[in-house]
Structure 1
């Protein structure tokens, strides 16, 4: 399940909201890649009778690891973008509060 930050009630948080949105979208991509990897793994578990089928299964087995790693890297990227969004939000809030001072 993905998390989507909603800072729309804070109009001063424009850039951080955009970054949080990107983080959420990257997390959705990671979940999609994880789903693809799971489906690939399920295909490799089938009993293939033909040599071509066995070769295909062996090929998928080798590829699943890379697809899983891609999903992990996407999740890590989403976390890093989320951390950047939080830092950016803090800076935006600081600038907003400074502008509000009399």
Structure 2
């Protein structure tokens, strides 16, 4: 996926862009695996620009994908590889996301 494609998906939605647009966690994982540091920078930019949710449960009880947590794991991998993901394993909120990214890494 190209940088413009990810940005376009993040801006495409019938709901609030803070829900992630039409970006899925798999998109972020593939993007970070493909583009490394530059991809991590772009994911971080989009996360900040659109205010992706960190928690999957909104105040009104609506469930959304916690795309900000996915972004943190993908950014970590893009910038520091497996070692950066290992550091996330000590954080209970981020460990499941780090494990999911690790499961996609081919060594």
TM over 0.5: no
- Greater RCO, 1 or 2 (C-alpha within 8 Å, sep 6+): 1
Which structure shows the higher helix fraction? 1
Q: Tell me which structure has the larger Cα radius of gyration.
A: 1
Q: Normalized against structure 1, the TM-score is what?
A: 0.32
